[in-house]
Amino acid sequence: MIKGIDVSNHQSTFPTGGFDFCIMKATEGRTYTDPRQSAHARRARSAGLVVGFYHFLWPGNIAAQARYFVDKCVSREGDVLACDWERTSDGTAATCAEKDAFLREVKRLRPDHRVLLYCSTDFWLNRDTTSFAGDGLWVAHYGVPAGKPGIRAEWLIHQYTSRPLDTNVARFASRAAMRAWAQEDDMPLTDTDAKKVWNTDFVKAPVENPDNPTWTPASYLRDTNLRARAVQEKLADLTEIELTAEQITALAAALAEHPGLVDQLAEKIAEKVAARLASVPAQTNP
């Protein structure tokens, strides 16, 4: 595991030796921006630490708080973002649903950043009802050994003391490993990658075109669409047959007298349907 600290406006400066990451307060509610976040970020970056920013969550106006956070924090690509979920100065606290909504909204606004949840073990065990922590749980539990926060849930960072600074351990083998994780995209499929997959020649061709053993997904989809359209056109050409009540009664009586006739009719209908489907033209591979 590696060690790191988290700081706010309460610290005019902080040591960097012996630490691999630093997460600093950026915003609170919808109006407060930490006046020292820029200076803290510069110091952490100059020391080569993995950098992160957190927002102190208040109840209500969740979408507005998320927007305020991402607009005001001085984050860069690869920085970690976090939601600080705890009791506010007036004794209130955001609900679990509000916490979840904030994490999801920040992720929507900044999809290329890792978004964490910070909370105490008390909040996690007694207030949380969804076990949703975004991209990772940052849990606070003092008076226990570092790396043993006392919860069964998977956790990423453990804040184990506040003296002399809020100090944490993270479940990474090295600073480089944490930085790589922070910069990793969960869905690294680019437009170029998608086009390569779309044009990959791996789908078996229909039997009507045996000389071409494989088709691309694009050509296969075009062929399927053409076949479906042709079937729809043939169905549209069918004339609906309407029977009178007397005709239906007579037909039912005839079928009752000749049970084998039902099976014969079913076979004939199946043959007709198969013949019509077989007559639908196939699209050749471009």
Each of the 286 residues of the chain gets a pLDDT tens digit; together they read: 999 999 999 999 999 999 999 999 999 999 999 999 999 999 999 999 999 999 999 999 999 999 999 999 999 999 999 999 999 999 999 999 999 999 999 999 999 999 999 999 999 999 999 999 999 999 999 999 999 999 999 999 999 999 999 999 999 999 999 999 999 855 545 566 566 656 655 455 554 444 444 556 666 566 676 677 677 666 666 666 677 888 888 877 877 777 777 777 777 787 777 776 666 555 444 4
User: Is 2-183 a CATH 3.20.20.80 domain?
Assistant: yes
Element (DSSP H or E) covering residue 107: helix 96-109
CA distance 181 to 65: 26
Q: Is the peptide bond before 149 cis (omega within 30 degrees of 0)?
A: no
The Cα–Cα gap between 90 and 35 comes to 22
SS3 label, residue 6: strand
SS3 (DSSP) at 286 = coil
Sequence ranges of the chain with CATH classification 3.20.20.80: 2-183
Of 100, 107, 151, 105, nearest to 130 (Cα)?
A: 100
Whole-model pTM over 0.85: no
Amino acid at 99: K
